[in-house]
Amino acid sequence: MKSLQLLQRASFVALLFAAGLSAQNSGNLDETIVLSVTPSEDLTNLYFLYAQGDISRFFQLPTSAGANMTTNFDISGFGLPFPVPGTPFFSVIGLNSTGDVFVAVDQTDAAALISNKTSFDDAFPSYAIGGVGGTPFGEASLVSGMENVNGPDVFGSGGDMLQIFADTPEQQTPQLFTPLNFSGFANSTLVEFSDATAGGTVSLSIQPAGTTATPEPAAGWLLGSAVLAMAGVRTIKRKQGAIKAQL
């Protein structure tokens, strides 16, 4: 009986500790998360991309962004960070009037891409060399997906194309997307990939109501341990019940 009580107590403590870590490390809706986009040209079909661990998402932004002016988007409702382990990355993509794609990438990587006049397909090989039936995706499929996110695309739905592109940090090195700093500001450079030139800036600022940290594996490990411990408690109780029934 003493061992059962100890096991119950340990599992309860583990559950409480795991729940505390999970609350600390998941998105806090009280935070104000502001995305600021300052492009060199008018941009439409804007999307915010977010990747963390093996999970990625895209979110359509509600309006366009004018040239040489800052447009702010409150993205607090996106629930960032996700409650999973992994470094968080973000990007913004948009199209100019001629359908050229702009991608927000890490500032250091952007300088190298611009200096080398890197093409979209060379910058994002994990996306470009994908495809169906031996036909690579390439830049055109991303543009098509951005213009028709809810409709069919030659390789699937437009949303499928954006989702695949949002996986960039997990799929390739260098990852190019900007790591997200949950304690202040993160700055990114827009690159226009028609000729690999600077296309403006993107910044993301977080004003926390409390402390929010990047998710850590410890929370998931402790929660899993607690679940196993509780399962052990139930098993012991069942065995005790069976013994009593036999007696």
- What is the structure's pLDDT at 83? 87
Does residue 56 surpass a pLDDT of 70? yes
Residues 70 and 35 in one domain: yes
**Whole-structure pTM value:** 0.72
- What is the structure's pLDDT at 237? 38
- What is the structure's pLDDT at 133? 61
Stretch 12-41: mean pLDDT, rounded?
58
Residues 92 and 199 in one domain: yes
The mean of the pLDDT values for the chain is 77
In a domain, 130, yes or no: yes
In a domain, 213, yes or no: no
In a domain, 166, yes or no: yes
Higher pLDDT, 183 or 85: 85
- What is the structure's pLDDT at 19? 35
For residue 246, count CB atoms less than 10 angstroms from its CB and return exposed for 0-12, middle for 13-18, buried for 19 or more.
exposed
E strands of the chain, at which residues?
A: 32-39, 44-52, 55-60, 71-74, 88-95, 101-106, 131-132, 135-136, 152-153, 156-157, 178-179, 185-192, 197-207
Sign of the C-alpha dihedral computed for residues 8, 13, 14 and 15 taken in this order: positive
Query: By percentage, how much of the chain surpasses pLDDT 90?
Result: 53
Residues 153 and 242 in one domain: no
Stretch 158-162: mean pLDDT, rounded?
88
Stretch 28-39: mean pLDDT, rounded?
82
- What is the structure's pLDDT at 234? 36
| pLDDT per position as a tens digit, 100-156 | 999 999 999 999 999 999 999 999 999 988 766 667 888 988 999 999 888 766 666
What's the domain range around 242? 2-24+219-246
In a domain, 47, yes or no: yes
Q: Tell me how far apart the alpha carbons of residues 40 and 34 are, in angstroms, rounded to a whole number.
A: 20
Residues 225 and 131 in one domain: no
Residues 129 and 171 in one domain: yes
Residue 87 phi/psi, 5-degree rounding, is -70, 130
Residues 91 and 104 in one domain: yes
Residues 64 and 108 in one domain: yes
Does residue 160 surpass a pLDDT of 80? yes
Across 87-96, 119-128, 209-218, least confident range:
209-218
- What is the structure's pLDDT at 43? 98
Does residue 169 surpass a pLDDT of 60? yes
Number of compact structural domains in the chain = 2
In a domain, 9, yes or no: yes
Higher pLDDT, 220 or 50: 50
Reported confidence tier of residue 184, pLDDT bands at 50, 70, 90: confident
Residues 71 and 107 in one domain: yes
Residue whose C-alpha is closest to residue 143's, from 117, 110, 165, 125: 165
Higher pLDDT, 77 or 230: 77
Does residue 66 surpass a pLDDT of 90? yes
Reported confidence tier of residue 208, pLDDT bands at 50, 70, 90: low
